[in-house]
């Protein structure tokens, strides 16, 4: 639904430029959800208690809720929502956010709020063949506090809105799914202290023993598709079996979108300093870096933990969390803790945001020329582009210059020339030919469109940053990180065993037959895979009569 008063909202980049000189007041305004002033939500009600929180506002999947509040000092404020998903259709929760009657910029359209999922059964289930089954994911609603951030390239950046002095209004318009709201907070989100500053305050000594976490034993996830998966490619996978399927991994290609997170629970036996070693694989996008934000017990421990990098490499790696020169140490107290990794695009987001602005200008140039030439430019006609579009030459030169800077920054960051680098070079070659003779632009308009389309496609896919996790080890500070891969002979022996076992295992079978003597089997042809066959089998076992 398109909210009123927001026919053509600007981008957040443009919004920031408009208010670049605005104050950032160091004060906090908290608005309780139950203190709403206007609504047309027919499902609206105040719940006395929900998940241990009192006087919570339950909102439906349609309609709006509005709050009026006072602001003592005008300026830019960040927004944090404390919400809890309510039972609905299982989709992400979406809300349009209007400040003083309008959506300030496009990132506040259909703001997405995650649901929370967990495995239905903590014990690993196996079929008659001894293969582990994919765990069923169910909702585990709980209150989450989220500071609103960008939707794509700027997902690492908290969004700010301008509030005037005096009376202001905030409206949440339901796009889909119900949710409960405890509070809305307007405040200044400060950067965390650096690792150098935080580590100076450490008082604990070196930890005595390693804490081992299996990646597949995640406590909570933000997405129903974030479930345990199987990988038997290495003898060091934990656990591993040459003959049976083991759900021994977490993440992978399903864990690629901005804001998706996986959270693990663990117990610390005694106070101490730990380093974190993640055995995983990031060989999905050549030349790309996967970035994750780390939180422990819901807090980012220091600034550098906002942008942990997992560079592209073939095979499994031991990623020791650090910044290249320094291995990070984490001070943990005895007791139960949580560790969360969230996809936040990382430092490449700044480059992608700048590139997105250039792509917008490229599309603008294409549209200007298209208006002159139509769909099929006449090769024999002189369109006099230089006269019809007097600013075009200057715009082309500026875009070429910006692309050169972006291209170099990208190369400095990732270290290799990936697909995006090649797409930028193609556009540059064409732009430079237009600089030499702008009148050739109409004849090559279709090629120009294709190059813009290719660059745009890469730009959108570049926020996909998969990461596969096998294990997470919290080792005593400066301890041995272990090996990520077996040596040559270890791999050879594992491959020989797997090859030998393959003669005795029927990998196509999903059942040994029913109990009670009836072992007659049927052959079922599926155009998909084992997971789908297991799903059909589960339906038959549970529901067929």
The predicted-structure confidence for 364-410, as pLDDT tens digits, reads as follows 999 999 988 888 888 778 888 888 889 999 999 999 999 999 999 98
Residue 282 CB neighbours (<10 A):
24
Give residue-wise pLDDT tens across range 191-248: 999 999 999 999 999 998 999 999 999 999 999 999 999 888 888 888 887 777 888 9
DSSP line for 517-544: S---------SS-HHHHHHHHHHHHHH-
Give residue-wise pLDDT tens across range 96-112: 999 999 999 999 999 99
Cα four-point dihedral sign 68, 70, 75, 81: negative
Q: What is the pLDDT of residue 431?
A: 94
**Alpha carbon distance 116, 221 (integer Å):** 6
Are the C-beta atoms of residues 345 and 461 closer than 8 Å to each other? Answer: no
pLDDT for residue 511 is more than 70: no
If 0-12 CB within 10 Å is exposed, 13-18 middle and 19+ buried, where does residue 480 land? Answer: exposed
For residue 85 the two structure tokens come to 């998903």
Are the C-beta atoms of residues 93 and 177 closer than 8 Å to each other? Answer: yes
**Alpha carbon distance 246, 267 (integer Å):** 24
**Alpha carbon distance 439, 370 (integer Å):** 13
**Alpha carbon distance 209, 270 (integer Å):** 9
**Alpha carbon distance 364, 371 (integer Å):** 11
pLDDT for residue 173 is more than 80: yes
**Alpha carbon distance 342, 114 (integer Å):** 12
The SS3 assignment for 449 reads helix
Mean pLDDT of 37-64: 95
Phi, psi of 196 (to 5 degrees): -60, -40
Report the chain's terminal Cα–Cα distance, integer Å: 44
**Alpha carbon distance 118, 130 (integer Å):** 23
How far CA 105 is from CA of 77, 315, 380, 502, in Å, comes to 14, 42, 44, 58
Q: What is the pLDDT of residue 433?
A: 93
If 0-12 CB within 10 Å is exposed, 13-18 middle and 19+ buried, where does residue 352 land? Answer: buried
Phi, psi of 26 (to 5 degrees): -90, 65
Q: What is the pTM of this model?
A: 0.86
Query: Phi/psi zone of residue 295: left (φ > 0), alpha (ψ -120 to 50 degrees), beta?
Result: beta
Residue listed under structure tokens 């700044």: 350
pLDDT for residue 517 is more than 70: no
Alpha carbon 121 to its chain's center: 26
Q: Helix crossing, 392-414 with 348-373: angle to 10°?
A: 150
DSSP line for 102-148: B--BGGGSSEEE---EEES-SSPPB-TTSPBPPPPEEE----EEEE-
Residue 497: pLDDT band by 50, 70, 90 thresholds? confident
**Alpha carbon distance 144, 443 (integer Å):** 55
Q: What is the DSSP letter of 206?
A: B
**Alpha carbon distance 232, 497 (integer Å):** 12
**Alpha carbon distance 385, 298 (integer Å):** 57
Residue 384 CB neighbours (<10 A):
11
Are the C-beta atoms of residues 164 and 101 closer than 8 Å to each other? Answer: no
The SS3 assignment for 279 reads strand
Are the C-beta atoms of residues 304 and 267 closer than 8 Å to each other? Answer: no
Residue listed under structure tokens 């929760």: 93
Closest among 158, 151, 184, 206 to 71, alpha carbons compared:
184
Residue 331 CB neighbours (<10 A):
19
Closest among 90, 70, 151, 56 to 353, alpha carbons compared:
151
Residue of higher predicted confidence among 516 and 360: 360
The SS3 assignment for 400 reads helix
**Alpha carbon distance 231, 250 (integer Å):** 10
**Alpha carbon distance 261, 149 (integer Å):** 15
Q: What is the pLDDT of residue 535?
A: 72
If 0-12 CB within 10 Å is exposed, 13-18 middle and 19+ buried, where does residue 487 land? Answer: exposed
| Mean model confidence pLDDT for the chain | 88
Q: What is the pLDDT of residue 2?
A: 47
Are the C-beta atoms of residues 146 and 340 closer than 8 Å to each other? Answer: no
Q: What is the pLDDT of residue 347?
A: 84
Q: What is the DSSP letter of 360?
A: H
**Alpha carbon distance 261, 280 (integer Å):** 16
Residue listed under structure tokens 């036996």: 269
Beta strands 179-187 and 53-59 are antiparallel
pLDDT for residue 1 is more than 70: no
Residue 5: pLDDT band by 50, 70, 90 thresholds? very low
Cα four-point dihedral sign 317, 319, 320, 323: positive
For residue 74 the two structure tokens come to 């005008």
Cis, bond preceding 239 (omega within 30 deg of 0): yes
């Amino acid at each position: 639904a398109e909210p009123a008063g927001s026919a053509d909202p600007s981008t957040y980049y443009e919004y920031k430029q408009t208010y670049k000189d605005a104050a950032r007041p160091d004060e906090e305004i908290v608005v309780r959800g139950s203190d709403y002033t206007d609504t047309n939500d027919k499902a609206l009600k105040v719940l006395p208690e929900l998940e241990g929180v009192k006087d919570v506002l339950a909102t439906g999947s349609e309609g709006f809720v509005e709050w009026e509040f006072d602001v003592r000092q005008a300026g830019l404020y960040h927004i944090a929502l404390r919400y809890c998903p309510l039972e609905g259709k299982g989709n992400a929760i979406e809300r349009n956010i209007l400040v003083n009657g309008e959506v300030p910029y496009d990132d506040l359209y259909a703001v997405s709020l995650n649901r929370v999922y967990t495995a239905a059964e903590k014990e690993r289930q196996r079929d008659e063949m001894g293969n582990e089954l994919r765990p069923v994911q169910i909702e585990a609603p709980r209150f989450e506090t989220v500071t609103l951030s960008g939707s794509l390239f700027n997902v690492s950046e908290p969004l700010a809105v301008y509030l005037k002095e005096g009376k202001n209004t905030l409206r949440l318009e339901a796009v889909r799914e119900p949710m409960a709201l405890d509070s809305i907070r307007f405040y200044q989100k400060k950067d965390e202290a650096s690792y150098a500053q935080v580590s100076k305050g450490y008082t604990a000594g070196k930890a005595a023993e390693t804490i081992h976490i299996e990646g597949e034993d995640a406590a909570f996830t933000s997405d129903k598709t974030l479930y345990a998966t199987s990988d038997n490619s290495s003898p060091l996978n934990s656990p591993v079996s040459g003959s049976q399927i083991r759900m021994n991994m977490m993440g992978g290609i399903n864990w690629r979108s901005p804001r998706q997170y996986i959270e693990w629970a663990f117990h610390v036996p005694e106070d101490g300093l730990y380093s974190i070693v993640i055995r995983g694989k990031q060989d999905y996008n050549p030349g790309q870096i996967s970035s994750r934000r780390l939180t422990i017990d819901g807090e980012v421990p220091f600034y550098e933990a906002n942008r942990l990098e997992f560079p592209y490499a073939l095979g499994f790696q031991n990623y020791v969390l650090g910044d290249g020169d320094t291995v990070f140490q984490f001070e943990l107290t005895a007791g139960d803790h949580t560790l969360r990794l969230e996809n936040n695009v990382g430092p490449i987001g700044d480059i992608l945001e700048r590139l997105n602005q250039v792509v917008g200008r490229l599309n603008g140039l294409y549209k200007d020329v298209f208006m002159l030439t139509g769909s099929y430019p006449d090769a024999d006609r002189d369109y006099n582009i230089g006269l019809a579009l007097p600013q075009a030459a200057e715009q082309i030169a500026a875009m070429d210059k910006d692309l050169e800077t972006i291209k170099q920054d990208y190369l400095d960051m990732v270290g290799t020339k990936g697909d995006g680098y090649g797409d930028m070079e193609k556009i540059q070659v064409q732009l430079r030919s237009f600089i030499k003779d702008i009148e050739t632009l109409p004849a090559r308009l279709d090629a120009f469109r294709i190059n813009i389309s290719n660059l745009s496609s890469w730009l959108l896919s570049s926020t996909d940053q998969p990461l596969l996790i096998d294990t997470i080890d919290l080792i005593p500070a400066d301890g041995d990180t272990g090996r990520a891969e077996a040596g040559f002979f270890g791999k050879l022996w594992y491959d020989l065993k797997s090859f030998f076992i393959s003669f005795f295992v029927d990998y196509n079978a999903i059942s040994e037959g029913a109990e009670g003597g009836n072992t007659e089997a049927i052959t079922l042809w599926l155009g998909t895979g084992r997971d789908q066959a297991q799903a059909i089998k589960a339906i038959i076992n549970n529901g067929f009569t």
